[in-house]
A and B are shown apart, each in its own frame.
Chain A
Amino acid sequence: MKSLSFIIPQEANKPFVAPAVQPGLGGIAPTTRNPSQGRMSDREIDQQLVERAQRGDKHAFELLVTKYHRKLERLLSRLIRDPAEIEDVAQEAFIKAYRALPNFRGDSAFYTWLYRIGINTAKNYLIALGRRAPTSTEFDSEEAEGFEDAAGLRDINTPESELATKQIAQTVNDAIAALPEELRTAITLRELDGLSYEEIAQIMNCPIGTVRSRIFRAREAVAEKLRPQLGTAKDKRW
């Protein structure tokens, strides 16, 4: 396979550039998974966690918190400027979501539901402080699924958090750059291009099991470097 043009962005907020897919092997667009295949989509995994939480398993909701708190805080940073306040509102939103969990019926994706709770909590918070809350048209629920914009975030990050962000991004970049090529390709095609294992297997001309193993090994290699910075060393308890 031709060497990938993997670019290591040194600025924390710059995304990686996806490797060019060779014409003869790929050009496959990320596909929506067919539910009949039996594989669980992201939404279905969330739904499973929600159902466990509804049956009294708090750990399941903790997994949802650790999955979405960064995303929710990025969203809230568009409404609230003070990082400490963002954290407070995010906490309140998660607690409200947990209390309201019996009412969640899965009509929408969990994050869409959480997004609405987060927006309403932030608006109420601003109103309570006598500040102007944004109108509903400024934040449509349709944004929820695709909200990945970090543009407004750079302005409000404290120097400390910005430094931490850069350090983490740097660590991840360095770790990925140090990976063997086949692992780097696999993880990049998965995380950046959102390709399924089957599509990656076609592109890399290897069995799906190999793709599964390569992605896992890539993640583990990066995680090994990242754990000390995140305070999640294996011997440390939450």
Chain B
Amino acid sequence: MTQDISSLMDGELEAHEAGRVVQACCASEDQKRTWYVYHVIGDAIRGQALRRAEMPERILAALREQPTVLAPRRRVVEASITRIALAAAASVVTVGVVGWLGLQGGQLRTAPPAIAKAAGPVTNVAANVPAPGVPAAGTMEVSSNQPVLNVQDYLTVHRQMPSPEFYRQVSNQAPATAR
């Protein structure tokens, strides 16, 4: 075993062997002493000043009085798993929302053929602009057939709605309102 401690100190053991030797070292007072003496020898050979070469017994005694530290790795793993799970859930939700919005957008973009079907009566209605205040029957018909219209389609359909007569009427009435 002492030869293994020597090899361990030199970093010449495979990981599994090192684990075994560390375990043995922790379990035996003799092996701990060997570990300590070998390190002192290394320091002395390298010419490092040994301010205090004897065992740090006072430090070890103080350490033994300390409550044992427990830092289970499992908790760390669990915490990281929770973090990963939350991040993954957030990602899935984001992708889902974006995807749903994309699909909705796709449906809206496929709407023009339906509008085209209704384009006939709309054009006719636009040509026969009703008098102000009179509801346009054709317009009502289009809106009931096509509940979902995007803005561009709406503007295309209604671009001729404000008639010159409407503006004139407003301007003619304006002075009377002022009075």
Contact = CB atoms under 8 A, between A and B. Distances in A.
Interface of A: 9, 12-16, 33, 38-42, 44-45, 48-49, 51-63, 65-67, 69-71, 73-74, 77, 83, 86-87, 90-91, 94-95, 98-99, 101-102, 148, 150, 153-154, 157, 161, 164-165, 168-169, 172-173, 176, 187-188, 190-192, 196-197, 212-213, 215-216, 219-220, 222-223, 226-227, 229-232, 234, 237-238
A153 B36 contact: no
Interface string B32-46: 111111111111111
Contacts of B32: 59, 62-63, 66, 238
B66 A95 contact: yes
B26 A52 contact: yes
Given A59-B26, A60-B26, A192 B45 contact: yes
A231 B50 CA distance: 15
Contacts of A196: 10-12
Nearest to A211: B12
Interface stretch (B53-61, B148-156, B171-179): B53-61
A208 to B, nearest CB: 8
A117 to B, nearest CB: 14
Contacts of A216: 2-3, 6-7
B63 interface: yes
29 contacts: A12-B50, A13-B49, A16-B45, A38-B15, A39-B12, A41-B11, A48-B18, A48-B19, A57-B26, A63-B32, A70-B50, A91-B59, A91-B62, A150-B49, A153-B51, A157-B49, A164-B50, A165-B53, A168-B40, A168-B50, A187-B45, A192-B45, A197-B7, A223-B37, A230-B37, A230-B55, A232-B37, A232-B55, A238-B33
Give 7 nearest A-B pairs by CB, closest first: A15-B47, A102-B71, A150-B49, A59-B26, A172-B44, A54-B71, A216-B6
A161 B162 CA distance: 105
Interface of B: 2-3, 6-15, 18-19, 22-23, 25-27, 29-30, 32-60, 62-64, 66, 68-73
Residue from B41, B42, B55, B60 whose CB has the most chain A CB atoms within 10 Å: B41
Contacts of A77: 51
B51 A165 contact: yes
A237 to B, nearest CB: 6
**Chain B interface secondary structure, helix, strand, loop or mixed?**
helix
Given A62-B32, A157-B49, A168-B40, A98 B69 contact: yes
A65 B11 contact: no
B25 to A, nearest CB: 6
A231 B18 contact: no
Contact of A66 (B12, B46, B55): B55
Contacts of A192: 45-46
B170 to A, nearest CB: 75
Contacts of B47: 9, 13-16, 150, 169
Contacts of A154: 49
Contacts of B50: 12, 70, 164-165, 168-169
